[in-house]
């Protein structure tokens, strides 16, 4: 095995062990040092994990000089579906999330609100996989400012629209724009 492949395999192995350990610690309520309170539900979590995954939580839990804020022990979150936040907390500790057509928009919106790029990216990838043409993927990448779709696909966009059913493509673009507008409200 070449050194680069070995290094990647070891990195993947360590990442898997770390995620499994974090999930176990959360499920067993060990080393929990924060509670997110949403309505009448409380979600124990680890500030270190939340801060590592989100600039929003990093700023909430730590001052500019890097010292922990005492106010970060219990955080009240308004206007958030507790089930969605629970899914996100579980994902941050386990790298497992059950995205569906019914929940992806709301998970995306919450990830965007709390600046959680890993969840945001997972949602965008899910949506891009649902799109069937290069035009749809390219448009979605442009709207979300995601670099995961190669710009080289752009050179095919004009030809596809001109040779294909252009009205169908325009409908999909408008639908994607309306979807984004709904998320930004």
- Assigned domain for 46 exists: yes
Task: Find out whether 49 and 93 touch, Cβ atoms under 8 Å.
Answer: yes
- Is the pLDDT reported for residue 184 higher than 70? no
| Residue-range definition of the domain harbouring residue 107 | 3-138
- Which pLDDT tens digit goes with each residue over 21-53? 999 999 999 999 999 999 999 999 999 999 999
Enumerate residues 6+ apart whose C-beta is below 8 A from 172: 131, 133, 135, 136, 139
161 in a structural domain: no
Q: Which one, of 81, 89, 107, 80, lies nearest residue 35 by Cα?
A: 89
Does a structural domain hold residue 169? no
Which one-letter DSSP state was computed for residue 38? E
Residue 86 lies in a domain: yes
What letter would DSSP give residue 150? -
Domain count, the chain: 1
User: Is residue 94 a part of any domain in this protein?
Assistant: yes
Contact 33, 73 (CB under 8 A): yes
pLDDT tens figures, 50-107: 999 999 999 998 877 767 776 668 899 999 999 999 999 999 999 999 999 889 989 9
Residue 31: inside a domain? yes
157: in domain: no
167 band by pLDDT with thresholds 50, 70 and 90 = very low
For residue 126, being part of any structural domain is answered with: yes
Compute the average pLDDT of residues 12-19.
91
Quick: pLDDT tens for 103-132.
998 999 999 999 999 998 999 888 877 765
Q: Find the CATH number of the domain harbouring 11.
A: 3.30.710.10
């Amino acid at each position: 095995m070449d050194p680069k492949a070995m290094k990647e395999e070891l990195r993947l192995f360590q990442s898997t062990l770390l995620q499994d350990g974090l999930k176990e610690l959360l499920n067993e309520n060990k080393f929990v040092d924060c509670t997110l309170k949403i309505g009448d539900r409380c979600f124990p979590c680890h500030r270190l994990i939340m801060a590592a995954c989100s600039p929003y939580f990093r700023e909430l839990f730590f001052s500019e000089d890097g010292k922990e804020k005492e106010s970060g022990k219990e955080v009240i979150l308004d206007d958030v579906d507790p089930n969605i936040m629970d899914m996100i907390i579980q994902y941050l500790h386990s790298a497992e999330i059950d995205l569906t057509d019914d929940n992806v928009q709301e998970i995306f919106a919450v990830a965007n609100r709390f600046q959680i790029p890993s969840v945001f990216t997972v949602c965008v990838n899910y949506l891009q996989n649902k799109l069937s043409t290069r035009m749809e993927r390219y448009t979605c990448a442009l709207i979300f400012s995601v670099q995961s779709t190669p710009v080289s696909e752009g050179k095919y966009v004009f030809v596809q629209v001109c040779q294909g059913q252009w009205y169908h493509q325009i409908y999909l673009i408008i639908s994607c724009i309306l979807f984004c507008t709904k998320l930004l409200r």
